[in-house]
Amino acid sequence: MAKVLAVVSSGYKDKDYHTGWWGEELFAPLNALEEAGHIVDLASPLGGKPELDERSILPEYDPQGTYKALYESGRADNTKKLREVNPEDYDVILIVGGHGAMFDLAQSDDLHRIINTVYDHGGIIAAECHGPSVLVYTKRPNGKSIVEGLKVTGYPDVWEPEDVLPYLPYSLEQEMRKIADYIPELEQKAFAIWGNSQIVTSRDPFSSELMAEELVKALQNR
């Protein structure tokens, strides 16, 4: 049995735009990990109930209403504050995507501390969709990004919604290309890749179940 910390954005708002975490990217891995007997805790920068990107539970993205029902059940309503997390309690850090991750998770010193501690203890660091933005800015003791020179994936520029682009603080794809071997694999329905034995990234919401499979398999082999 492993202990997993799933980290979600608390949300971002300005007068014209608000966003948060993506439903499937939390709940698909959470369900699979718990079914495999692992314990999953939730954390966010502010703690409490984090802001969901409500598009993620629209029929277009959640046709069966699976993730809408889980959200409405309150499963994600009580998250720990990142600054109060003891990283030594966890074997896996899962960074959940959604555009919110680019705003309040990517450059969170508390989250970088947690990631580095878990990584140094041999744990797994997983990031989905826009979640790899956190890894870009997580620096190792040598001052380099934790994913520098590694194979990574994440949400590609070509898929970013035009109405959202003006509000994004940077291009995830371009930031990753500066330091890592970014691989989008646009023709595959779902895509995840291991950069090394401890770091795995996935491309988009529709890769959430694949990320779940990768984590369950990796923990079985430990």
One DSSP character per residue, 5-73 reads: EEE----EE-SS-EE-B-HHHHHHHHHHHHHTT-EEEEEESS-BSPPB-GGGGSTTT-TT-HHHHHHHT
Query: What number is the average pLDDT over the span 199-206?
Result: 98
Q: At what angle do helices 23-35 and 208-220 cross, to 10 degrees?
A: 30
Q: What are the phi and psi torsion angles at 192 (to 5°)?
A: -140, 150
pLDDT of 118 higher than 90: yes
Query: Looking at residue 154, what DSSP letter applies?
Result: -
Q: Could you tell me the maximum CA-CA distance found in the chain, to the nearest angstrom?
A: 47
Query: What number is the average pLDDT over the span 173-178?
Result: 98
Query: Looking at residue 147, what DSSP letter applies?
Result: T
pLDDT of 171 higher than 90: yes
Position 16 confidence tier, pLDDT thresholds 50, 70, 90: confident
Beta bridge mates, 194: 200
Tell me the pTM.
0.97
Q: Would you state the pLDDT for residue 15?
A: 81
pLDDT digits (tens, 9 = 90+) for 57-115: 999 999 999 999 999 999 999 999 999 999 999 999 999 999 999 999 999 999 999 99
Q: Would you state the pLDDT for residue 47?
A: 98
Nearest alpha carbon to residue 138 among 183, 95, 171, 96: 95
Query: What number is the average pLDDT over the span 9-27?
Result: 95
Q: What are the phi and psi torsion angles at 124 (to 5°)?
A: -100, 135
Domain boundaries, the chain: 3-220
Top-level class of domain 3-220: alpha beta
Nearest alpha carbon to residue 22 among 11, 34, 36: 11
Q: Yes or no: say if 98 and 130 are a contact pair by the CB < 8 Å rule.
A: yes
The strand pair at 18-19 and 12-13 is best described as antiparallel
The dihedral of CA 50, 4, 109, 84: what is its sign? Answer: positive
Q: Is 98 helix (H, G, I), strand (E, B) or coil?
A: coil
Q: Would you state the pLDDT for residue 7?
A: 98
